[in-house]
Amino acid sequence: MMRILGVSLSSAALAATLLVSSLAAGSLAGAMAQAAEASVSAKSASAGPAKKTKAKNLASSANFEKSVRTRAKPKRVRHSIPRRAATPSKPATDGGPLVRSGSALVMDARGHQIFAKNPDTKRPIASITKLMTAMVVLDARLPFDEMITISADDRDELLNTRSRLRDGLASLSRFELLHIALMSSENRAASALARTTFPGGISPFIAAMTRKAQNLGMTNTRFADATGLDERNVSTARDIVRLLQAAYDYPIIRFATTTESTEVHPYPKRSGMTYLNTNRLIRGGEWEIELSKTGYLKVAGRCLAMRTRIANRPLYMVFLKAPGKLTPFGDSNRLRKWLEHRS
């Protein structure tokens, strides 16, 4: 069950809606846009009682973009940044507040650079990789409701990270795997998507990621896997802005990366499992975020990439190689305060 702007729905119900739209439009790409735009704005007729919660279908497509962008404004939440004994961060070369992230870039929707710190330095990007993974999956136009079982091939053999999706037992729809891979950075979900998209498995999928990066002009970007666990996945803050601009054209990616939580049922006869969004700025409710992705590896530091609105101005913000868990969020808040003061 997903909860978006106070509306709950099951992933299965949304996937069914997406499939019907696909058949009617004759194009899954068009259907995705229609389905995502129809998924959020109003509660519709009850779909019947679920095991513990009541799932509700969503209708009324006219206000999808408005409903995503016009979030309620609860009490302001301040995220405190722990004091660090390290040397103070160097200021950006073009002015602005001090930021602790190794690379940072703020650009507007027209491509104008507003703030930059080491924007062209190549760095590992960790799970920001999953934005490219999602685009390649969606470009393949495969059925959203197709069930995929996690296999031993989806285990992380590089870093031995944990997952609640047990190989050989956990099964979810393609849409559900896409949702938790983007929203919660579930690595086995991303691996299963890459493994099942093309005949031949992972290798042709990585090749497709590389081609798409080249087509987007991401000349300083390289991919070695679909999860972001491989430190050979490298890019620059400037290239990540290009990635965000491309991902923004996919309503499903905007939807999945900005929901606060979802519930899935990968195991028969067991209760559902709740996944949360890894971007605490979305959960805090203070920001108006239209697209986002976080990432973390020891070698990559903390990473954050998002499209947001500040003073009603759409902006792309990228932070790479942040030293602390809260550093990207602190850098975001400092830059936001600076931008609001300038406007």
Catalytic residues, which ones? 127, 130, 185
Give the whole-angstrom CA distance, residue 84 versus residue 326.
Answer: 12
Looking up tokens 């990585």 gives 206
Torsion, Cα of 264, 267, 268, 273 (10° steps): -40
Beta carbons within 10 angstroms of residue 264's beta carbon:
26
Torsion, Cα of 168, 174, 177, 181 (10° steps): 130
Number of helices and strands (H, E) in the chain?
11, 15
Give the whole-angstrom CA distance, residue 48 versus residue 40.
Answer: 18
Q: What Cα–Cα distance (Å) separates residue 134 from each residue in 159, 257, 274?
A: 22, 11, 21
Is the separation of the CB atoms in 176 and 264 below 8 Å?
yes
